[in-house]
Structure 1
Amino acid sequence: MHAQQEAGVNLHGNQDWDTVVISKKRPTAAAAQKPSNVNAAIRAGAQVDTVKKQTQGNASAARGPIKSAVKLENDTETFEHERVSSELKKQIQQARLAKKLTQAQLAQMINEKPQLINEYESGKAIPNPQILSKMSRVLGVTLKKNPGKK
């Protein structure tokens, strides 16, 4: 029975009391290449071969600017969202006043916030066909995003 205990079998419990040794990691190749480690090796008299690496950018960066970047730079077009036209905002306001509705009442009837109606009537809103159709239905007039165009 004593021989079984020496072989690592513990008859009295589940614990095995073997020795475990924990040590530090050995230095990696990247750590050996640190400038401070290389300098220390040179001072110690060891023969050290050093090679300076060039920066690894993409090949197009060495040739000059990318053509698409040049196109973007030369592009003078400004990108802005289409806003409510002055004709449309007047049309909404006149139709709302003809029905004797406030902005808040109209907003409640189309299940939107009063601020949205204010933005449409002040010309700050981006026209949404769904909202325009809701307002058209409630106000009883045909509202188009661009009244002059068909």
Structure 2
Amino acid sequence: MPSRFQGAIKQEWEPVVLQKSRPKAQDLRDPKAVNQALRTGGQVQTIKKADAGANKKAAPPAVNARKLDEAEEPAALGRVLTEVRQAIQKARIEKKMSQAELAKQINERPQVVQEYENGKAVPNQAVLAKVERVLGVKLRGLRK
């Protein structure tokens, strides 16, 4: 089914190129002329350098990729020790607290307490310190 507009619309566009005039090198180097222009209300052109003032560390991505390739195996993150898990559970039950109540007292999500008691959490010294303070038990420094 042919469209009734087929061939009826014809657009001819001509490219429009806009160019800024480049500042002269002598204008950029003469601070007196810039100061004078600022004082008299004249026009002063500023040029922003690419990524100027950006707080970035310029590290080529190839270096990071190479380090990952050279690594033999990804380092396994430590998990909560069995002794720490059992100590948290025992102290919490003795204080007749639920996991949600403990989480509320240490200002963490209930899921965090659950992960610590299940041994799935990666130990965080700040969280362990809060649990120690609320439950009154020593958790940091326990070894097998």
Output the TM-score relative to the length of structure 1: 0.48
Which structure's CA Rg is the greater one? 1
- Report which structure shows greater RCO (CA 8 Å, sep ≥6): 2
